[in-house]
């Protein structure tokens, strides 16, 4: 049986299967985007697919910034919130 990759949510630190989490990535160009496929190149960080984890983390964005190794601007945080919250409402 093949092992599934495990990742932890930067907000609540819950360990889950990689496919069960939402990936945020800093692309090689320095852009911070939501990665629904989980295959974009760049430094990634993961969040649980629930509104509580997403909103709690995006209020401060300290752990997310640390995981991505890049300070986030207010504009980037707003765009991420829109993308991430939109993705969980679609499911």
The residues pairing with 38 across neighbouring beta strands, listed in sequence order, are none
Give the start-to-end residue ranges of the domains of the chain.
6-90
Q: Which CATH number fits domain 6-90: 3.30.1230.10, 3.10.180.10, 3.40.50.300, 3.10.20.340?
A: 3.30.1230.10
pLDDT in single tens digits along all 91 residues of the chain:
888 999 999 999 999 999 999 999 999 999 999 999 999 999 999 999 999 999 999 888 899 999 999 999 999 999 999 999 998 877 6
């Amino acid at each position: 049986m093949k092992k599934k990759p495990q990742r932890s949510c930067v907000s609540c630190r819950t360990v889950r299967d990689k496919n069960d989490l939402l990936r945020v990535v800093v692309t090689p160009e320095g852009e911070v985007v939501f990665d629904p496929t989980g295959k974009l190149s760049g430094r990634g960080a993961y969040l649980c697919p629930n509104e509580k984890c997403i909103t709690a983390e995006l209020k401060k964005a300290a752990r997310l910034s640390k995981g991505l190794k890049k300070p986030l601007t207010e504009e980037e945080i707003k765009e991420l919130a829109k993308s991430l919250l939109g993705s969980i409402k679609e499911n």
